[in-house]
């Protein structure tokens, strides 16, 4: 058990080094990168936006109830803005992409592995770390912050809408009040920390997929492990990154 | 219809490349755990020559091919391509060697998200950036036409039969005009007619392209048809190597058992 634990991290380290070496040296696989940006970004957008909207509505309803109870109703816009942008938007996007993209990459690469398609890539004198892994990981790194922005925007919009349905509040008023006194450093680090989630999701999904053995059962296991491990590491990374951001941007 | 013996007469004579073999395997050893799969293999293949490697399942035939193309690393011994030792080369340097090799996988290993034509053009897209898109398409079409697959270029691999997949795999293996062709069980799982068609294609390639070919098979009928020389593997060692007649005159029990297939 302990050996397996250290072996997994050791293999992940070697895999990461191979991907880094391959990704930083030409020829660069631009065409595959664009395809993966579309796969990770565009195709995740509706799901992330919908989830962001739902979270915005939930926070809006909960915050209104709690703030009214404690006589701090005027704090509603600020509470919603900070809750969505600093906390819920990033982690929710990370977890949703872990599920959708992590499972997709894990299953796709695992299926390619067990049917010798990855060997065929290598036999065709193409570095599979460059073509298959580096492009997917980079796409996740680049797309997570953008998806987070989409989730934040959707959450704020629907959060405001839920509030405006109960009592009149113009969107302009809501935004002006919510962002009053806010600095860029309040919002940029929480948004761009999701690039680290992207690294985690892409790396773990590619690693699990490309080390698969054992036919259809192995493919299923790789997809499941990709989602479970990516989600777990995203949550753990969030703990570390929140502390890091609080120290660096007090 | 040509018989096996008629076809066998069509073999081209191997050309010695200034006397040096294109592929030379020396004292090659590979173990997986305690299982010694290859235990000191020595083989050579010259330009225009086809060597068939025979043996029962699990005797390391496919491992030998995977070692030659660098998908596995040997425990010891050497693999020389044009007199350059390739064992232990880094992936990108090995890539340059692999451009000289074509590999047909046992189950074809076609990319299931690409069409038949895209599968064949795949190596060209990555290595022949000097070619235009239409030139690459034309080249893929030409190769598929050689394989008799010109009517199926837009089909997905899952929509064609096993024999057709092997032909597409063979076309893909030839895309970069390799000097060395490695074929892993090219007729396994095929009906006798499809097997015969694949054998004919391999013989045609031999005549026209003069590649050094290594064919791994347990199909003695196919080996006899397409190979200039045969090598029989057992327990990680070459039991016998030579022309088909040499095997016919052998007193080794395993060789006799194999010949009883015919």
Exposed (0-12), middle (13-18) or buried (19+): which is B241, by Cβ within 10 Å?
middle
Domain ranges of chain A: 2-248
Whether the CB of B90 is below 8 Å from some CB of chain A: the reply is no
The Cα B128–Cα B86 span in angstroms is: 23
Contact across the interface for B123 and A126, Cβ inside 8 Å: yes
* Whole-prediction pTM: 0.90
Note whether A117 contacts B110, CB cutoff 8 Å: yes
ipTM of the complex: 0.89
CB distance from B109 to chain A under 8 Å?
A: yes
- Encoding tokens for residue B144? 């598929």
Query: Between residues B9 and B121, which one has the greater pLDDT?
Result: B121
pLDDT at A214: 85
Q: What per-residue confidence (pLDDT) applies to B11? A: 52
CA distance B110 to chain A (A): 6
Bridge partners, residue B79, by sequence: B25
Question: CATH 3.40.50.300 residue ranges in chain B?
Answer: 4-100+178-259
**pLDDT over 70 at B14, yes or no:** no
**Contact list, B111 vs chain A (CB under 8 Å):** 112, 117, 120
Q: What is the pLDDT along chain A (250 residues), one digit of tens a residue?
A: 678 889 999 999 999 999 999 999 998 999 999 999 999 999 999 999 999 999 999 999 999 999 999 989 889 999 999 999 999 999 999 999 999 999 999 999 999 999 999 999 999 999 999 999 999 999 999 999 999 999 999 999 999 999 999 988 899 999 999 999 888 888 999 999 999 999 999 999 999 999 999 889 999 999 999 999 999 999 999 999 999 999 998 7
> Which residues on A lie below 8 Å from B126 (Cβ)?
27, 124-126, 131
Q: Do B109 and A127 touch (CB under 8 A)?
A: no
Could you tell me the pLDDT band of residue B5, with boundaries at 50, 70 and 90?
very low
- Nearest one of B173, B224, B164 to B199, comparing CA atoms: B224
CB atoms within 10 A of CB B35: 10
Q: What is the pLDDT of residue B261?
A: 67
Helix (H, G, I), strand (E, B) or coil at A187: helix
Q: Where are the alpha helices (DSSP H) in B27-153?
A: 61-68, 91-98, 116-127, 133-146
Measuring CA to CA, how many Å separate A179 from each of A78, A156, B53? 7, 12, 74
Residue percentage of chain B with pLDDT more than 90: 66
Q: Which of 3.40.50.300, 1.20.1250.20, 3.30.465.10, 3.40.50.720 is the CATH number of B4-100+178-259?
A: 3.40.50.300
Which residue in the set B91, B123, B129 is minimally distant from A124, CB to CB? B123
CA distances from B1 to B10, B12, B192, B193, B197 (A): 14, 20, 13, 11, 12
Examine the pLDDT at B2 and tell me if it is beyond 50. no
* Mean pLDDT, rounded, for B100-118: 96
Mean pLDDT of chain B: 89
Contacts of B67 (CB under 8 A, 6+ apart): B28, B30, B38, B73, B74, B79, B87
Kindly tell me if the per-residue pLDDT of B189 is higher than 90: no
Collect all residues of chain A within an 8 Å Cβ-Cβ radius of residue B99: 125
Chain B residues lying within 8 Å of A127, measured CB to CB:
91-92, 95
Residue B136 has pLDDT above 80, yes or no: yes
């Amino acid at each position: 058990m302990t050996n397996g634990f250290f072996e997994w991290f050791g293999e992940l380290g070697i895999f990461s080094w191979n991907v880094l070496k391959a990704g930083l040296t030409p020829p660069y696989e631009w065409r595959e990168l664009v395809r993966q940006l579309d796969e990770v970004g565009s195709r995740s957008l509706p799901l992330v936006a919908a989830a962001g909207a739902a979270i915005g509505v939930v926070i809006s309803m909960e915050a209104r109830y709690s703030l009214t109870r404690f006589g701090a109703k005027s704090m509603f816009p600020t509470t919603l803005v900070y809750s969505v942008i600093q906390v819920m938007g990033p982690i929710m996007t990370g977890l949703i992409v872990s599920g959708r993209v992590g499972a997709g990459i894990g299953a796709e690469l695992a299926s390619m592995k067990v049917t010798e398609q990855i060997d065929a890539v290598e036999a065709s004198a193409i570095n599979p770390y460059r073509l298959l892994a580096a492009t997917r990981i980079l796409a996740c790194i680049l797309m997570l912050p953008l998806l987070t922005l989409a989730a934040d925007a959707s959450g704020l919009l629907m959060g405001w809408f839920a509030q405006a349905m109960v009592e009149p509040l113009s969107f302009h008023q809501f935004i002006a009040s919510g962002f009053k006194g806010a600095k860029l450093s309040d919002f940029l680090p929480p948004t761009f920390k999701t690039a680290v989630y992207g690294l985690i999701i892409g790396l773990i999904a590619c690693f699990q997929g490309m080390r698969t053995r054992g036919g259809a059962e192995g493919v299923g296991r790789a997809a499941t492990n990709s989602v479970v491990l990516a989600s777990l590491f995203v949550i753990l990374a969030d703990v570390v990154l929140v502390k890091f951001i609080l120290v660096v941007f007090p | 219809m040509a018989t096996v013996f008629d076809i066998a007469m069509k073999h081209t004579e191997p050309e010695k490349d200034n006397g040096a073999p294109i592929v030379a395997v020396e004292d090659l050893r590979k173990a997986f755990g305690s299982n010694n799969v290859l235990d000191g293999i020595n083989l050579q293949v010259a330009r225009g020559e086809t060597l068939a490697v025979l043996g029962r399942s699990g005797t390391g035939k496919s491992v030998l091919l995977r070692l030659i193309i660098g998908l596995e690393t040997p425990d010891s011994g050497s693999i020389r391509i044009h007199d350059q030792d390739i064992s232990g080369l880094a992936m990108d340097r090995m890539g340059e060697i692999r451009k000289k090799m074509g590999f047909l996988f046992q189950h074809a290993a076609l990319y299931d998200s690409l069409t038949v034509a895209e599968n064949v053009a795949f190596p060209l897209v990555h290595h022949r950036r000097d070619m235009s898109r239409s030139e690459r398409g034309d080249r893929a079409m030409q190769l598929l036409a050689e394989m008799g697959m010109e009517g199926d270029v837009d089909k997905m691999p899952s929509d064609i039969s096993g024999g057709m997949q092997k032909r597409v795999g063979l076309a893909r293996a030839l895309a970069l005009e390799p000097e060395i062709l490695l074929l892993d069980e090219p007729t396994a799982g095929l009906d006798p007619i499809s097997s015969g068609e694949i054998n004919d294609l391999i013989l045609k390639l031999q005549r026209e392209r003069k590649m050094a070919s290594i064919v791994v098979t347990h199909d003695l009928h196919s080996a006899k048809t397409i190979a200039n020389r045969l090598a029989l593997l057992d327990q990680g060692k070459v039991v016998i190597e030579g022309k088909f007649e040499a095997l016919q005159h052998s007193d080794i029990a395993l060789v006799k058992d194999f010949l009883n297939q015919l």
